[in-house]
Amino acid sequence: MFILMICSSLFGFSQNQSDGINSQMLEKIQQSYKNTDQDKALRNAVASNKIDNLVVNLDNEAKYDTYFSNRVKSKGISDQKSSGRCWMFSGFNVLRSGMIAKYDLGEFNFSHNYIFFYDQLEKSNLFLSLVIKYKDEPLDSKNNEWLLKNVLSDGGQFTGIIDLVSKYGLVPSTVQPETYNSENTRKIDELITLKLKEFALELRAINSKGDYENKKVEMLSTIYRMLVLAYGEPVKEFTYTLRNSSGKEISTEKYTPKSFYEKHIGKDLAKTYVMFMNDPTRPYYKLYEIENDRHIIDGINWKYINLPVDEIKEMAIASIKDSTMMYFSCDVGKHYNRTKGLLDVNNYDYGVLMGTSFSMNKNQRIQTFASGSSHAMTLCGVDINKENKPTKWLVENSWGASAGWQGHLIMTDEWFNEYMFRLVVDRKYIPSKLLRILDEKPTMLPPWDPMFAEDID
């Protein structure tokens, strides 16, 4: 009897027994399924096929159109391969677009591998610094739980571009090319994460008089070596010849990464760009900040202005019409037709197949963790109808030229409303009344908030 009581307590059998599926409840559930001939046919189809293939809305495919009234041209589709660096590819697309236009370049890009090296080193330092900050809290505190579940990743957002590029500069892609592990990051991420967790326990064991700084330098030296083995040592100086699209030499100079950035980009990114969010779960026209949501310990937390989606669209249209690309992020996996590269809420008839409806709105999907930003791309096109309303949007993606439509994705305006989350806009396209919101004290939100996962797909 004593053993039975222990088992009942351990497994919760003594509590809420009436909530279990008893035989009478199971019989009612089973009887609700009629097993008609139509049900049998559906069961055979669903069990034997990919669901998306069964529910493609063929009527909707007839509306597929690749014309855009306004589009920013680009040169060369990038490919993040098997990594979660979409935020970096999108950010670099914004920066390189201006440089290509400035010098009439051909297919030019910056080295993702160079900045990614420092991204991983800085994130490692951020993690260890926060371990020290929260070391007096229990290991299972909310801060430490979040920290140990989010040690290191490929993911990020545009503030990472701002901090990393401003601190470490840029180099052309040919100066520090990709390696196998920069394009296939899973294993090295796993190893560095494991080592950082080990270091976290070591730091927590140091007494209050311990020398944290020297210990952290020692730990980061180990991480630096691991990064060098995987990605190569970051270039410090290089000579580069810049040529236009016709192959004509523009200049040949010796650079450091910082001097290359200052000469060819040359603007203060933190003062140039503003992030906007469409989050209907919170009040609009407010400034928000995400605690500890940054790439560098001495960098800037992610701040954004929350706006209705139509006002975000107005700035996007103004930017595109002026041939300026934007960092854009969304919940890319929802209603995505991979064959056509089309994002449309009418792509698939899931409800018809399953005999039910999926009716949550954007607010409800965010609240229940059913939707959130997952992937960053570069917004570069919009199609505007005779009523001066946008009907569809174009983004340059980083999944290679063969993915989607010529390396791009097309999204209907309705899909944009439902699954667009972040847009980074140059200040010159932002109304002054919105810029004034930046002077307000931001509402601080915790890093585990449902809306604030990194862009990583």
Six-digit token pair at 168? 């470490």
Task: Say how far apart CA 66 and CA 407 lie, in whole Å.
Answer: 13
Nearest Cα neighbor of 116 from 154, 79, 82, 80 is 154
* Interatomic CA distance for residues 144 and 105, integer angstroms: 47
> Scanning the structure block, which residue is given the tokens 């999204």?
411
Q: Is 73 helix (H, G, I), strand (E, B) or coil?
A: coil
Helices 257-264 and 158-168 cross at an angle (nearest 10°) of 110
Residues 6 or more apart whose CB falls under 8 angstroms from that of 313 comprise: 390, 416
Identify which of 266, 302, 304, 260 has the alpha carbon closest to the alpha carbon of residue 438: 304
Query: Which amino acid type is present at position 310?
Result: D
- CA torsion sign for 172, 174, 175, 178 is positive
Buried b (16+ CB within 10 A) or exposed e, 235-264: beebebebbeeeeeeeeeeebebeebbeeb
Half-sphere exposure of 76 (CA within 13 A, CB side): 17
The span from the CA of 3 to the CA of 64, in Å, is 65
Contact 353, 41 (CB under 8 A): no
* Stretch (H or E) spanning 324: none
Active-site residue identified among 86, 144, 264, 278: 86
For the chain, give the number of residues: 457
Orientation angle between helical segments 86-103 and 158-168, nearest 10 degrees: 60
Give the number of other Cβ atoms within 10 Å of residue 190's Cβ: 11
User: Does the annotation mark 375 as catalytic?
Assistant: yes
Catalytic residue among 347, 375, 380, 408: 375
How far apart are the C-alpha atoms of 8 and 11, rounded to whole Å? 5
Measured distance CA(63)–CA(85) in Å, rounded: 33
Q: Residue 275's beta-bridge partner residues?
A: 424
Q: Choosing from 306, 380, 397, 408, which is the catalytic residue?
A: 397
- In angstroms, the CA 261 to CA 439 distance is 28
Take residue 244 and report the two structure tokens written for it: 């236009």
DSSP-assigned letter for residue 17: G
Closest alpha carbon to 95 in 80, 107, 81, 110 = 110
Taking the C-alpha atoms of residue 456 and residue 156, their distance in angstroms, rounded to an integer, is 7
Question: What tokens were used for 450?
Answer: 């449902």
Looking at the annotation, which residues are catalytic? 86, 375, 397
